[in-house]
Chains A and B, each alone.
Chain A
Amino acid sequence: MRRGMIGLVLLACMPTAHAQTLEDAIVGQYRARGFFSPAPDKPRERLSCRLTGAQTAPLQYALQGKCASANLAGDMQILVDIVAPEQKYEVGVRFAGDNLLGFDSEYTYVGMADGQSVVFEARVQIEGVAHQSKFRIGWSDEGVNRIVETVRARNGGREFVLVDLDVQGQ
């Protein structure tokens, strides 16, 4: 009986491994593999990323790392500001590299939590053309598990998947 009580107390004191919120999910090291398509009519190309997530301030998290395709490599930084905990977030994405495929180097997204994902939206410029971008970060108990970005030209073009990455914690 006594042993059972101790067991219950210990169990209650053990930290949970479940990532309930984006904030929980971000912290850690990740490797992401997937695809990117620079334009709706262009073939997908393989993309690989390595990211490290950490809390940088009480209401700020950062994911930073490097992404590479067979022809390109560049550094990436995603700063996540918590506007309303577990609900509303603001994300700044910054790229660094010689070739950004016509993208600007910095974008700011605003996103709302939706279960175990957050969907961010922003207006982005791709080769000088205004696009609407949806940037979705999904997570599971183990942390971030998918990042998908879809874009559509604001003048009525076809929506296409710009980046689709399967993410695995390391």
Chain B
Amino acid sequence: MSGLVSLVVRRPWLLLGLVVVLLGVAGGGVLRLAFNDGLSHVFASNNQAFENYVSDQARFSGAGAGIAVHLKAKSFAEPTVLRAAEDFALDLGLLDGVEGSASVFSLRKTPDAQGDTRPLFSADIQQEADLRPLLLPAVRHPLNQGRLLSEDLQNMLVLVQPQSQQLVDLAIVLDDISSLGAEILTSHGVDFSVSGMPALRVSTIELLIRDQMVINVVAAGIGFVLCLIAFKGLVPAMIAGVPAVIALIFVLGFMGYWGTGINTATNALPVLILVLAFADSMHLTFETRRRLATGEGHQTAIVEAFKLAAPPCILASVTTTIAFASLMLSGSELISGLGAAGSIGVLISLCVVLLVNPLLSVIAARFDLKGWTFGHPSQPILFPQGLWQRVLDLCLRRARVVVAITLVGLVVALGIYSQAGARYSFFEYVPENGPDYLALKEVERQFAPLTSYDVMVPVQSPDDGRIEANMLARVGAVHTSLAELYGADRVVSLWSVAQWAMPENPSGAADQLTRLFRRAGLLGTNGFVSSDGELARVAVLAADPGAQQIIKEAADIEATAQRSLGDVGVRVGGLMYMSAVVASEMIFDLNRSFLAAVVFSGVLIAIWMRSLRVGVAALIINVLPISMVGAFLVIGGNQLQFTSGLALTIAFGIAVDDTLHALNRLRPKYLAGAAITPDDIRQAFGSVAPVLTATSVILSFGLGATFLSGMPSIAYFGQLSIAVFILALLADLLALPALLLFIRKGAPS
């Protein structure tokens, strides 16, 4: 490492040129940065529920999420209004990228003796004097049941099936739908809103792009301002801040070239890297400036500062890398992708800071900018040194009490934290007051839930896709048993079609349905029976109640369906169920990752300090803030979510940073095998506390930029991380000195 800093001192201009060239290369990567909501691979894993889901998706047509267009008018019984709605529904089918659409105008009368079905509405319905009596049968139609037209005739739903689930294609279709609505509906007093999962996914991408622009710029701005306040000078603030910004560009460039891109998981990674780089760079700048102020020559000051401050920066980056790498144990491609990107990103950032910070110091010294307050030391952020000394003395005098409180606190917090359950909602990445989410909830309130439990009933059908009586009977049994529990308007299956086709005798409708599907070209592609004829789908419409409730309700539904057929082969599937099961497992995966990170970092510190006791003490100090935040989550009823699991794991890696910088002051004595005295501890913590406080303030304020995120999960991530940083600082300043004194006392001389 000293070789690197010597090279910086000898060849600053050459290295500056290299940095500029690499910046250009990284800039190319930034331009390639892709944005993705991550839905396509967040659940990708070897979990049985996911494998079933993938298999079901391939076997059922129209399995992709649909777009819901909610039309609102004073009354659709008004002829011109109804005509506009019909024009709109028809024209949706003309849009590029639209597979088809379904609306109240798609409803047809019960088939006649020849099996012909006539439209429910005549083509000239608008010319009728009173539309209400004609529309009300549509509301009660067995294939509608209020799901497409509300009883008060003020709300209408048009469902659009896009051809592709690619976000680029979905964005175009959504835009076209909005333009069409503005063109046809608005002039007739019909309001409309577009929602559904595709709309939420596209708006998530918009949020991700906005977040990257806003959060990183604001965090960098906050970092600079805090450096200015801490160092009371522009030059040291630049020396501390510029390497962090360069590190951010390098990491974004790497993410662009590597193809990780920005998604709901990696959204917070750039700002995390930025604040980490700020903290490291600040440690180096602080030490360099302190040495310059004591009269050391600039070369000596830079080299010696590097030698002292770089090792803990490196070790802290290694522990953060370990924390990120532990995420690679997750079964989710999304989480493991974050782990890989985070581990490499932290190391890239470290290298950039270790190169650029001394480089800028050397250049500043060459231009004799020491006078620009670079060489004028001051306590960072008006640190209350006198008060701190008194508190430190108290902690050391009452070391046993402090240690006892620490250990009791740790045991209690861990006990509560261990009770944490998994909590997941499909919509946790979406702002609750966002227009798309509100529109979706309004659709679910007015009509029916857009999400469902999909009960997969094993059936046997001939190769030609015909519907047979036996198949229909099995579907009917499951459908009826579930309709008794959840309501007839909440269950949709082949039985619903049979009830419409032959209301008096649905079980005798098999041939009729075969004819209808054949005529419509829907044999094998009707969405009710799988293309291979081995499964029939019975959908129970239900709003997302959260993972735990989903798993419980799915078990009830599965048991009911199995009882109705006496067949244990019946199972629950669908996106909502799969995501709940897989997410719950992944959240516990994150806990396992956290445990792995804890063990690794403990071992690493023990080796670095060559003391098992110090390793254990560091572990206690760093697990304490995490377990306290975890316990708080349990008590607050939030339980463990994807976001909290990630935040706690990553924040643990970062929290170790403070401990390492504190231990670094005592390390020479530990390595020499010398006895540690209370004065050694007092001196070490007296000098390191201001800079630890300053870096924690920078980390916390920098991550405070996440509060500006449009995604609630990112703001939540920021809140939890800041809580960990503050608690970690308190643990490092108050409990660690006492703990070090305590283990010293118990140690053999």
Contact = CB atoms under 8 A, between A and B. Distances in A.
B122 A48 contact: no
A50 interface: yes
Contacts of A44: 122-124
Given A48-B90, A66-B94, A68-B90, A43 B519 contact: no
A153 B108 CA distance: 26
Most buried by A among B118, B123, B522: B123
Interface in A46-67: 46-50, 65-67
Contacts, number: 66
Interface in A18-35: 33, 35
Interface in B59-98: 86-87, 89-94, 98
Most buried by B among A47, A48, A50, A65: A48
Contacts of B521: 97-100
A133 B309 CA distance: 89
A70 B89 contact: yes
Most buried by B among A46, A48, A98: A46
Contacts of A106: none
B119 A43 contact: yes
B94 A50 contact: yes
Interface string A71-115: 111000000000000000000000001111000000000000000
Nearest to A41: B116
Nearest to A32: B94
A42 interface: yes
A47 B273 CA distance: 57
Given A33-B87, A66-B93, A70-B103, A42 B519 contact: no
Contacts of A142: none
Interface residues of A, number: 24
A71 B413 CA distance: 60
Given A35-B123, A43-B122, A68-B93, A73 B100 contact: yes
Contacts of A141: none
A13 B613 CA distance: 97
Nearest to B525: A98
A100 B519 CA distance: 9
A100 B123 CA distance: 20
A6 B100 CA distance: 55
A97 B522 CA distance: 11
A46 B522 contact: no
A167 to B, nearest CB: 14
B742 interface: no
Contacts of B94: 48-50, 65-68, 73
Contacts of B118: 42-43
A97 B93 CA distance: 12
A137 to B, nearest CB: 20
A50 B98 CA distance: 14
B105 A70 contact: yes
Interface of A: 33, 35, 42-50, 65-73, 97-100
Given A68-B91, A97-B521, 8 more contacts: A44-B122, A46-B86, A46-B90, A46-B123, A48-B94, A50-B91, A70-B90, A99-B520
